[in-house]
């Protein structure tokens, strides 16, 4: 039901954007100053779930606020939490202080597909990611920035990253992540990867 209200608000925002409230008919009636500043659409305590054609969830986005700026075509996210579902195991859970959806009018075109229709989802500030594994343990990593490309099911970061698992802790410069298969690549060619393994995890 919440998705239909979000869609209704998006359609209302598009309708209002096509009206010029500053025009007067035959010199009569009130005149309104155009709203040049501020978002075209603002949602508080928002939650959006996107589904595939088969009806299974693809993305779930929560945020303290979601604000769309028509001039830049960007959608700002405050305290976003993003769930990335996959057919290959449990979903990834991503959290950050701030976020941004890049892709002109992605939110207004289809609010319930805002993530999938975006060219890129940018997460910044204390980015945390976690994914449960089949053995009951959890794979986690932390970094400062993360770029997510929904259409390609791919994420990457050039910032330092720390990975924590039941086996130990690994530090690297950057990462790339294939979300569909859960394949994680660490570091760059010219940078070292440092790992510390727990004694219980060694053969």
Task: Tell me the residue range of the domain where 117 lies.
Answer: 2-201
Burial of 168 (0-12, 13-18, 19+ CB in 10 A): middle
Give Rg (Cα) of the chain: 21
Q: For residue 37, what pLDDT is reported? A: 59
pTM of the model: 0.71
Res 187: pLDDT: 72
pLDDT bracket for residue 140 (50, 70, 90)? very high
Residue 180 DSSP one-character state: T
> What's 55's domain CATH number?
2.60.450.10
Q: Which residue has the higher pLDDT, 80 or 3?
A: 80
- C-alpha 11/C-alpha 5 separation (Å) is 10
pLDDT digits (tens, 9 = 90+) for 111-126: 555 555 567 889 999 9
Q: What is the pLDDT of residue 32?
A: 37
pLDDT digits (tens, 9 = 90+) for 3-24: 433 443 443 444 334 334 343 4
Q: How many domains does the structure of the chain reveal?
A: 1
- Percent helix, strand, coil in the chain, to 5, is 15, 50, 35
């Amino acid at each position: 039901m919440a998705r239909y209200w979000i869609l209704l608000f998006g359609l209302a925002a598009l309708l209002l954007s096509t009206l010029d409230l500053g025009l007067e008919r035959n010199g009569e009636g009130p005149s309104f100053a155009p709203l040049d500043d501020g978002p075209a659409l603002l949602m508080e305590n928002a939650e959006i779930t996107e589904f595939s054609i088969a009806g299974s969830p693809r993305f779930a986005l929560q945020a303290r606020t979601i604000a769309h700026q028509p001039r830049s075509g960007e959608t700002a996210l405050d305290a976003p939490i993003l769930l990335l579902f996959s057919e290959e195991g449990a979903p990834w859970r991503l959290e950050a202080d701030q976020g941004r959806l890049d892709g002109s009018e992605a939110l207004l075109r289809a609010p319930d597909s805002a993530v999938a229709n975006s060219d890129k989802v940018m997460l910044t500030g204390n980015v945390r990611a976690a994914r449960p594994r089949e053995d009951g343990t959890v794979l986690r990593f932390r970094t400062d920035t993360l770029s997510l490309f929904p259409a390609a099911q791919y994420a990457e970061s050039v910032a330092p990253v720390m990975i924590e698992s039941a086996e130990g802790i690994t530090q690297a410069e950057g990462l790339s992540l294939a979300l569909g298969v859960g394949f994680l690549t660490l570091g760059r060619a010219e940078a070292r990867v440092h790992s510390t393994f727990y004694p219980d995890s060694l053969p």
